[in-house]
Chains A and B, each alone.
Chain A
Amino acid sequence: MVNVASTFGRSGTHDFVLLRATALVMAAYAFFLVIWLACNPSVDYNAWSGLYSNLAMKIFTLLTLTSVLVHGWIGIWQVLTDYIKCSRLRGLIQYVVVLALGVYWFTGLFVLWGV
């Protein structure tokens, strides 16, 4: 059993399930947007506003942003623990990445809130 503080208590099973569950949500969101854009060739402000003012779309988008946060957090942590051997540098990069992911999430939340 390998105990590493930077996992915040997550096991390999947790990471495995979370990565796949969030990937499914992001894939579904991307698929939905591609279909929507294909069905609406001339997209203007009103069309975007109409789409994102729908409560279901707000929930779906927020769910996707949360998935980006979780997927990015775990995925980047895995990549960094593979390639960055200096623990201070790894911790710093992980910190910056998590902050950026947090900014994306809050920015998305406030944008959705205003639609």
Chain B
Amino acid sequence: MKKIVFSVYRYNPDVDAKPRMQEYTLEVEKSRDMMVLDALILLKEQDPTLSFRRSCREGVCGSDGVNMNGTNGLACITPVSSLKGSKVVIRPLPGLPVIRDLIVDMAQFFEQYEKIKPFLINDDKLPPARERLQSPEDRAKLDGLYECILCACCSSSCPSFWWNPDKFIGPAGLLNAYRFLVDSRDTATEQRLDDLDDAFSVFRCHGIMNCVEVCPKGLNPTKAIGQIKSMLLSRAV
């Protein structure tokens, strides 16, 4: 048997004056590895007051985004063995208000997402009888964009989002904005670019690529933001 030490962020605003870190120890078989979410569920058996979000437990729903040993990620697809250090430190996603323990308030994140109008806009007067077709080439442009699961790992690892969460759209929102900007079926490109062309929404991204580093789906928001900047610049120059 081996012992794994966990240090978990605890905060219940109804009871605690300030947050604290609480240590737990799990005894597991030497040859056994587990995901951080499995460990959290075992810890919750030890201490039922420990709170965290979870749902699909396979990296699809994006509910269990947490900060593990300083790096954001999904607890359900992060093996404990991949975390270096003498103990596993688990905190809520940084930059978002804590509701309780590892549960954060995502309202600000989704307000920014809402701003980019994450739906297809098409003002064709004569809609097709069955469906709007795309060529394989146009469809391929959406690869690497549509897969975002809105877990907020990227936006909550971005200093620009920490400093201006009410003004900077953030990597997740901008990745989705670009997904609609390059969609051949969307006819609101100019309107979408008008909405983004201010000093905060897009241009607060300074390309430090924390978002790329932490994205559990392996997406590249920095590249998408660069493409939006290019679109804004090419229509301005």
Contacts and interface: CB of A to CB of B under 8 A. Distances in A.
A2 B232 contact: no
A13 B230 CA distance: 10
Interface size class of A (residues with CB under 8 A): 10 to 19
Interface string B127-162: 000000000000000000000000000000001100
Contacts of B167: 2, 4
Contacts, number: 56
B232 A12 contact: yes
B236 A13 contact: yes
Interface residues of B, number: 21
A12 B200 contact: yes
A7 interface: yes
Interface string B197-220: 111111110000000000000000
Contacts of B237: 17
Contacts of B203: 12-13, 15-16
A1 interface: yes
Nearest to B237: A17
A15 B201 contact: no
Contact of B229 (A7, A10, A16): A16
Contacts of A12: 196-203, 232
A1 B229 contact: no
A13 B193 CA distance: 11
A107 interface: no
14 contacts: A1-B194, A1-B197, A2-B167, A2-B201, A4-B198, A4-B200, A11-B198, A12-B198, A12-B200, A12-B232, A13-B232, A16-B203, A16-B229, A82-B164
Interface of B: 159-160, 163-164, 167, 194-204, 229, 232-233, 236-237
Interface of A: 1-4, 7, 10-13, 15-17, 78, 81-83
